């Protein structure tokens, strides 16, 4: 931990979109562009007081007129001058109480780091089983009367109910999704962006969590 910045195993950014780059051998690499935004420690949770160690991170700045009174109070208590509106917790092994008000650094995420990225997937509304779960569907010929329906969803007298988690039509997307073990290609703090190999969950301008991979060192 430095005097002005704190190193955490996770940071928050904004998905700016996708593009491609070429390596030294001319190989084409698809990348997701992540806009780097300030992450500031707004509160410290300790095991003695809260039962676990964690840092509350504030991010996403808006104009002051859009802040609620509770948010203003939280920022004022932490001594944060930016008008940050989003708050998330990052659990750590040990937490320093003097970290409040300090910005989160990017020392944990140099190029070639393996990371897990979490975001909210694109919402696709109410969908049927063919689109939602890739069901095959019935015959497409005339007179079938069974084209895109789910079919039978249970038995008769036994067990006389539909089991929980049965794959049926419903809301698709708009849920928290994590993509594991993808690679950081480039980090440019001067221009404020990070390049991640491949795609990540969510739409443009959506918030994503970038964390150290849990399955790969």
Average pLDDT, the chain: 93
C-alpha span between 121 and 155 (Å, rounded): 34
- The pLDDT tens digits for 5-53 are 889 999 999 999 999 999 889 999 999 999 999 999 999 999 999 999 9
pLDDT above 90 (res 3) = no
pTM, rounded to two decimals: 0.87
Q: Which string of DSSP letters, residue by residue, matches 76-115?
A: HHHT--S-EEEEEEEE-SS--GGGTTPEE-STT--TT-EE
The confidence score (pLDDT) of residue 142 equals: 94
| pLDDT tens digits, one per residue of 87-111 | 999 999 998 888 999 999 999 999 9
pLDDT at 49: 92
Share of the chain above pLDDT 70, in %: 98
What is the per-residue pLDDT for 1?
Answer: 45
The number of CA neighbours under 13 Å toward the Cβ of 47 is 6
Q: What is the pLDDT of residues 164-196, one digit of tens each?
A: 999 999 999 999 999 999 999 999 999 999 999
Q: What is the pLDDT of residues 146-164, one digit of tens each?
A: 999 999 998 888 888 999 9
CA 184 to chain CA centroid, Å, is 15
Residues 6 or more apart in contact with residue 105 via CB below 8 angstroms = 2, 5, 6, 7
- What's the whole-number mean pLDDT along residues 81-91? 95
Q: What confidence category does residue 216 fall into, taking pLDDT thresholds of 50, 70 and 90?
A: confident
Q: How far is CA 140 from CA 79, 135, 137, 149, 206, in A?
A: 65, 14, 8, 12, 39
pLDDT at position 217 over 80 = no
Alpha-helix runs per DSSP H in the chain: 47-50, 69-78, 129-133
- Say whether pLDDT at 2 is over 60: no
Which superfamily does CATH assign the domain made up of 5-123+176-212 to? Translation factors (2.40.30.10)
Q: Please state the domain extents for the chain.
A: 5-123+176-212, 125-172
**Termini Cα distance of the chain:** 20
């Amino acid at each position: 931990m430095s005097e002005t910045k704190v190193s955490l195993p996770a940071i928050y950014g904004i998905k700016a979109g996708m593009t491609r780059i070429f390596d030294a051998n001319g190989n084409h690499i698809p990348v997701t562009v992540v806009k780097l935004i300030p992450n500031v420690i707004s509160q410290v949770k300790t095991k003695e007081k809260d039962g676990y160690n964690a840092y509350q991170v504030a991010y996403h700045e808006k104009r002051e007129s859009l802040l609620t009174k509770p948010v203003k109070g939280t920022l004022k208590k932490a001594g944060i001058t930016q008008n940050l509106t989003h708050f998330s917790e990052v659990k750590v092994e040990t937490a320093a109480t003097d970290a409040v008000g300090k910005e989160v650094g990017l020392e944990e995420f140099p190029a070639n780091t393996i990371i897990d990225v979490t975001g909210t997937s694109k919402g696709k509304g109410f969908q049927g089983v063919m689109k939602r779960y890739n069901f095959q569907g019935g015959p497409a010929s005339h007179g079938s009367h069974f084209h895109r329906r789910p079919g039978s969803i249970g038995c008769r007298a036994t067990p006389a109910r539909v089991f929980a988690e049965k794959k049926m039509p419903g809301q698709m997307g708009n849920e928290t999704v994590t993509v594991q073990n993808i690679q950081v290609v480039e980090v440019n703090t001067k221009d404020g962006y990070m390049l991640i190999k491949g795609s990540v969950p969510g739409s443009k301008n959506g918030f994503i969590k970038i964390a150290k991979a849990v399955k790969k060192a």
